[in-house]
Amino acid sequence: MARRKRSVKLIRTKPDRADEPLGDSLERIGLFTANVLDYGMFMLDPDGHVVSWNARAQRLKGYRADEILGQHFSRFYPPQDIERGKPQRGLKLASAEGYFEDEGWRVRKDGSTFWANVAISAIRDKAGKLLGFAKITRDLTERQLATEQIKASEARLQAFMNHSPSLMFIKDLQGRYLHVNNRFTQVFGLKREDIISHTDSELFPAELAAQFGANDAKALATGTGVEVEEVARYRDGLLHTSIVHKFPLLDNGGQITALGGVVTDITERKLLEEALGQKNIELSRATELQTTLREDRQRLELLATHDALTGVPNRALLCQRGEHAVAVSRRTGRLLALLFIDLDHFKDINDRLGHTAGDLVLREVATRLSGCLREVDTIARHGGDEFVVLLEDIEGHEEVEQIAARMREVLAEPFAVQGQAIHVTSSIGAALYPRDGEAVTTLIGRADLAMYRAKELGRDTVQFYTPDLATQRIPVQ
């Protein structure tokens, strides 16, 4: 408590008399203090004994004048203060400096205590002789209790904040820190006393302070608070990413008085998210690669089993399916047929229009023939302008004739190539399982012989295999 050097001078109403008794001087001052009602005022002799007592002092301390006059004023102090010599120290300071002021707990007659503001002034005559002391006491118990409640509340708040793993702070409306928790001081490597009453611009680099300040302003402007992401460099030298909840603090009247903040470090979560994102990218790339490899494998399989020009199965796949079909027919007793189809005079198309035009015609032929078949049937390109059709589960000779007739019919329709209408006919040979053979290759060979018989008979017709063709076949040019 600051001390002001001050002493009380006696005001006399008659000529000074240096030999005036001490009791007379104190009596006049006592008359003054007795009439002061707002403060407990009393006089002490130079040794600290009470020589006057006003009504307010009686109400404040509980002693009547006849009970306290002549008693030493130290009885107003708690025992521990008396042991430490606090009463005498106050008189010494007042005597030396003229004035002493203090606050502390004082004891009433009934043993109860109150918080007192005490001022002691030394009283001297004009010659400087110490006549005694004037003491003024005010009861500030309510104020002190309120102060202690505030301190206790702040201590509880600080304890609560210190137990949080998140950074926590409270700022006033000018951006000065009022409270920070231990976590705040730890991560930034600052002492609490270096933070309190300072602003971000006084504590942190300009860019970081500007980031904090802008988000503070947003939170105060909304009236309800904001949740933002902030990046700051901590004491460990690393950049940390945090989710920060900033919110205004309101008084009982609803007015904003301060800003609160809770800062949760999500650096590890961000790193995990980034790592997961990278893994997802790698997984996506691996999936794309796997898809590409699967597609490449499918293309290779397609190339291995299908004709590259027309897209229909090749001879290898035809034989594979044919063997399966033969096995099924053997078990069920149902018929199986092989048709060998050759385009008549196809070489003329290549010679006249070129191989590109010929390829267009072959692709269209494969499409038209496929349209004449069921799902269980197979069409394959045997080579050049030759196609083989495998017909499964047929009723008999007549059904084969109907399918072959339909094929000749669709092929007879003009082909539009290079602006020209091209007409194509076909010669078809047929062989039946099991009548004409039990192996796929045998059936293909005998259907081929029947196709040549069709050509011998003038082309654009269908012929079935007969045993005599094996010795009578004459190649047709």
Q: What is the CA radius of gyration of the chain?
A: 58
* One domain, residues 25 and 76: yes
* One domain, residues 197 and 125: no
Average of pLDDT values for 4-9?
41
Joined together, the tokens standing for residue 220 give 């105060």
The span from the CA of 328 to the CA of 334, in Å, is 8
* One domain, residues 122 and 80: yes
Ranking 5-9, 31-35, 174-178, 422-426 by mean pLDDT, the lowest is: 5-9
* One domain, residues 182 and 132: no
* One domain, residues 95 and 182: no
* One domain, residues 402 and 341: yes
The span from the CA of 168 to the CA of 242, in Å, is 12
pLDDT tens digits along 42-72:
999 999 999 999 999 999 999 999 999 999 9
pLDDT tens digits along 230-259:
999 999 999 999 999 999 999 888 899 999
Percent of the chain past pLDDT 70, that is, above it, reads 89
Is 284 among the domain residues?
no
pTM of this prediction exceeds 0.85: no
- In the structure, what pLDDT confidence band is assigned to residue 299 with cuts at 50, 70 and 90? confident
Q: Which pLDDT belongs to residue 157? A: 67
CA separation, residue 312 to residues 350, 406, 441, 453 (Å): 21, 19, 19, 26
Q: What's the total number of domains in the chain?
A: 3
Q: Which pLDDT belongs to residue 472? A: 64
Q: Which pLDDT belongs to residue 275? A: 85
CA separation, residue 408 to residues 340, 365, 401, 465 (Å): 12, 11, 11, 18
Domain that holds residue 29: 7-139
Is 307 among the domain residues?
no
The span from the CA of 344 to the CA of 425, in Å, is 5
Given a contact cutoff of 8 angstroms between Cβ atoms, the answer to whether 117 and 39 are in contact is: no
pLDDT tens digits along 341-391:
999 999 999 999 999 999 999 999 999 999 999 999 999 999 999 999 999
* One domain, residues 333 and 222: no
Is 297 among the domain residues?
no
> Which sign, positive or negative, has the C-alpha torsion 172, 175, 176, 177?
positive
* One domain, residues 167 and 73: no
- With a CB cutoff of 8 Å and minimum separation 6, the contacts of 390 are 318, 321, 322, 325, 336, 337, 338, 377, 378, 379, 380
- In the structure, what pLDDT confidence band is assigned to residue 287 with cuts at 50, 70 and 90? confident
- In the structure, what pLDDT confidence band is assigned to residue 406 with cuts at 50, 70 and 90? very high
* One domain, residues 327 and 411: yes
Comparing 3 with 472, the larger pLDDT belongs to 472
Mean pLDDT of the chain: 87
Q: Flag whether pLDDT at 103 surpasses 60.
A: yes
Enumerate the β-bridge partners of residue 99.
Answer: 121
Q: 265, 281, 297 — which closes off a domain?
A: 265
Given a contact cutoff of 8 angstroms between Cβ atoms, the answer to whether 253 and 232 are in contact is: no
Q: Flag whether pLDDT at 152 surpasses 80.
A: no
The angle, 0 to 180 degrees and rounded to 10, between the axes of the packed helices 397-412 and 355-370 is 140
Chain centroid to CA 374 = 58
Q: Which pLDDT belongs to residue 357? A: 93
pLDDT tens digits along 125-151:
999 999 999 999 999 888 877 777 767
CA separation, residue 360 to residues 116, 292, 357, 372, 379 (Å): 115, 29, 5, 19, 18
* One domain, residues 328 and 456: yes
* One domain, residues 116 and 161: no
Q: Which pLDDT belongs to residue 5? A: 41
* One domain, residues 375 and 227: no
Joined together, the tokens standing for residue 215 give 């988000």
Q: What is the CATH number of the domain that holds 63?
A: 3.30.450.20
Ranking 115-124, 185-194, 205-214, 296-305 by mean pLDDT, the lowest is: 296-305
Residue 123, helix vs strand vs coil: strand
